[in-house]
Amino acid sequence: MVEPVLQIDNLVKSFGALRATDGITLDLKPGEIHALIGPNGAGKSTLIHQICGTLKQDSGTIRLAGEDIGALSAAARARRGLGRTFQVSSLAPEFSALRNVMLAVQARQGSSFGFFRPVMRDRSLIDPAMAILERVGLSDRARLPAAELSHGERRQLEIAMALALQSKALLLDEPMAGMGPEGSKRLTGFLDTLRQEAPILLVEHDMDAVFALADRISVLVYGRIIATGTVEDIRRDPAVRTAYLGDHA
């Protein structure tokens, strides 16, 4: 059996009397896209916060490539190889698209304490950043400030920054959010090519995208995972049908 890249065991988080995360166990294997679905309020955001380190779990472990990262800061987790995108695009708005990706390249190279060499003359930052913008189809928008990009372009830029980190695992938080049908289709095709680069934990509402991409699906309801399995398993699972998919399937 292959060792999972990301392994979450028995994670618990309560807010007062509410158990937002109620003993979640979840893993992400090399080369797969593992989709996490669930109705609003199921606790997806809380779970993402804990995986990324912006919220501390009450108990349970989070391992990345075998290493316990459950007590590390968000930045330390990212350095260990956990890349992410945000549900609402989160960029440096004054920076150009290029400089946003360059910042990610710089972060991957591990040194932000260079004080004298101008980044805009640093080929070791510019070239990889341009290559990634090319891949996500943003190279002709490279010089525009992130704030002036369209919604869809900002989503693409988010993914470009995650790619630039060359992470061990990617956590994509609703990458399709707010994309039109055309954009969603294009993005689905693109994500399909990424799984060999890094396995993806995909949190998504767009069921077409989920069914097209996922190798496995986990269904989160009221802080618990009620089912995990292949697309077919999940489509057939009666508990899932009543709890969640009822009107979709």
Partner 1 sequence: MVLTRENAVNLTLAVLLLAVPLAASALGQPFYITLATRIAILALAALGLNLALGLGGMVSFGHAAFFGIGGYAAGILASHALSGEPLLFDLSGTAQMPIIWLVAVIAAGLVALAIGALSLRTSGVYFIMITLAFAQMVYYFAISWPAYGGEDGLSIAVRNQFPGTNTMRPLNFFFVAYAVLLAGIGLFALIRASRFGAALVATRQNEIRVAALGIDPYRIRLAGFVISAMITALAGALYADLNRFVSPSMLAWHMSGELIVLIILGGTGRLFGPLAGAALYVAFEFALGGLTERWQFFLGLILLGVVLFARGGLLGLLAGKTKHG
Among 40, 117, 193, 238, binds partner 1 (CB under 8 A): 117
Q: Which of 42, 78, 133, 217 binds partner 1 (CB under 8 A)?
A: 78
Shortest distance, CB of residue 177 to partner 1, whole angstroms?
A: 17
Distance in Å, CB of 148 to partner 1, minimum: 10
Nearer to partner 1 (CB atom), residue 65 or residue 231: 65
Using rule CB under 8 A, residue 103 touches partner 1: yes
Pick the closer one to partner 1 by CB: 151 or 236. Answer: 151
Which helix (H) or strand (E) segment is 100 a member of? Answer: helix 97-109
Among 1, 2, 17, 120, binds partner 1 (CB under 8 A): 120
Contact positions with partner 1 (CB under 8 A) in 167-196 = none
Instruction: Report d(CA 190, CA 235) in Å as an integer.
Output: 24
SS3 62: strand
| Nearest distance in Å: CB 194, partner 1 | 18
Helix/strand/coil for 104? helix
Helix (H) or strand (E) holding 233: helix 231-236
Instruction: Give the shortest CB-50-to-partner 1 separation in angstroms.
Output: 14
Q: Is 66 in the site for partner 1 (CB under 8 A)?
A: no
**Is there a contact between 22 and 224 (Cβ–Cβ < 8 Å)?**
yes
50 binds partner 1 (CB under 8 A): no
Extract long-range pairs of 209-214: CB within 8 Å, 24+ residues apart. Answer: 209/176, 209/184, 210/35, 210/37, 211/235, 212/188, 213/33, 213/35, 213/188, 214/33, 214/34, 214/35
Say if strands 6-15 and 18-28 run parallel, antiparallel, or are unpaired. Answer: antiparallel
Q: Rule CB under 8 A: which residues touch partner 1?
A: 52, 54, 73-79, 83-84, 86, 90-96, 99, 102-104, 106-108, 111-120, 122, 125, 145, 161, 165
